[in-house]
Structure 1
Amino acid sequence: MARLTTTLLMATALVATAACSKKRPEVLPPAPGAAPTTPAQTGPVDPNGGVTPGSAADFKRSTQGDTVLFGLDMYDIDSTARAILDSQADWLQRYNNVNITVEGHADERGTREYNLALGDRRANAAKNYLVARGIAPSRITTISYGKERPVALGSDEASWAQNRRAVTVVVN
């Protein structure tokens, strides 16, 4: 009788285990190391890489930069600044429906009033250069932020040099 009980218990355990086993999925995942294939692009390819011509992103990509740097207490346009502003003027002539704002900035040294005036002179120096290159003055506005919007936080010459700037921003 003990043998029969043991056999019945074993059979019951086998049936219970078989009932709990997982069924094999119909679709197996890819083998390890196999990369999924991506469908080939069938539509037209954007030659601009997704950047809209005449946009702010196009301006930054197509010019030598949007920022002109100045020396301490200076607002004159040097040769490096001329090259940057020349590339901006060329772009603005291509997109004559685009307006810009030139922002003037200063480093943290000096009074608030002095830095606002210096930022204004820097923004107007950049604007006047662009106007001399043939850009309509009605397309350019200027604003001075003085020392209120530093790009580099720090009280050293490297930070101050980055904060003495005029930045061209595409408005539309």
Structure 2
Amino acid sequence: MKLSAQTKVFALLLSVGLFAGCSSTGETVDGGAYGSDVEPIDQEGGSTVYGGDDEGGVSSSALTEEERMAAQQRAEQDALRDITTFYFDFDTAEIKPEARDVLVAHAQFLSANPGQQVRLVGHADERGTKEYNLALGERRANAVQRFLIVNGASRGQMETVSYGEEKPAVMGSTESAWAQNRRVELVFE
């Protein structure tokens, strides 16, 4: 493959131009090491999301430690509120200790949002008579309602309903199925 002299000269000039364009002199321009349109990173000031002038975005340096902690606590409370089903032991309406923190988060949410309504739906497993299971489901829903009220929710925000054994979460006559059917569900409206 033969290249013409004109093509060789053009390629040589292009190479020299690229080489010259990539070299730097090491001088600083406009007081910055990188040029006027690029600023060095502020290692202690935080960062800005969206926008570059701290006016159109959220700056992490603008948050105090208390605000960061409050934001983290709100995120944790929101995560707890994703849990809306609470389980009970056999033949009891006593709230389990592991459910208390989650119910407190729900009570705080209801307290902060007085227009929010919630239905507390009580259930029982299939053991016992229909009447007994309806009453047990109601006792369970009422226990959750009392707990929410004590922790800041308003009685007017809540409605209790019992389905007893009529709407099982899991079909079956095993201990595992019964355990999943002994519950109160929070249904936010």
Q: TM-score range by the shorter chain?
A: 0.5 to 0.7
Q: Give structure 1 stretches of 5+ with no counterpart.
A: 1-58
User: Which residue among 132, 138, 145 is the counterpart of 2:156?
Assistant: 138
Distance in 1 separating the partners of 2:93 and 2:119:
17
1:92, 1:120 → 2: CA distance? 21
Give yes or no for the alignment of 1:152 onto 2:170: yes
Taking the aligned partners of 2:159 and 2:78, their CA distance within structure 1 comes to: 18
Secondary structure of the structure 1 residue equivalent to 2:185: strand
1:114 aligns to 2:128 (yes or no): no
Q: Does 1:75 align with 2:107?
A: no
Q: How many Å separate the matches in 2 of 1:68 and 1:148?
A: 17
SS in 2 for 1:160: helix
- Partner residue of 2:118? 100
Equivalent position of 2:144 in the other structure: 126
Q: Using the alignment, how far apart are the partners of 2:90 and 2:120 within structure 1? A: 19
Contact 1:101 1:143 in 2 (8 A): yes
User: What does 1:43-54 align with in structure 2 at a 5 Å threshold?
Assistant: none
Supply the RMSD in Å over aligned alpha carbons. 1.7
User: Unaligned regions of 5+ residues in structure 2, if any?
Assistant: 1-76
Change (3 A) 1:130 1:87: same
- Aligned with 2:186: secondary structure? strand
**What is the rounded CA distance, in whole Å, between the counterparts of 2:183 and 2:114 in structure 1?**
25
Do the aligned partners of residues 60 and 144 (structure 1) sit closer, same or farther apart at CA in structure 2, a change above 3 Å counting? farther
Shift of 1:68: 0.8
1:89 matched to 2:129? The reply is no
Contact 1:102 1:127 in 2 (8 A): yes
Q: CA deviation at 1:134?
A: 1.2
What displacement does 1:61 show? Answer: 5.8
Runs of 4 or more above 4 Å deviation? 59-62
Aligned to 2:187, the other structure's residue is in SS state: strand
Quote the Cα distance in structure 2 between the aligned partners of 1:108 and 1:153. 10
SS of alignment partner, residue 88 of structure 1: helix
Partner of 1:31: none
Residue among 154, 174, 179 paired with 1:161 = 179
Alignment of 1:61-72 (within 5 A): 63-72=81-90
8 A contact 1:105–1:147 mirrored in 2: yes
Partner of 1:19: none
Q: Report SS of the residue matched to 1:71.
A: coil
Cα displacement string for residues 80-100 of structure 1 (whole angstroms, at most 9, x for unaligned residues): 121221121122223221011
State percent identity of aligned pairs: 42
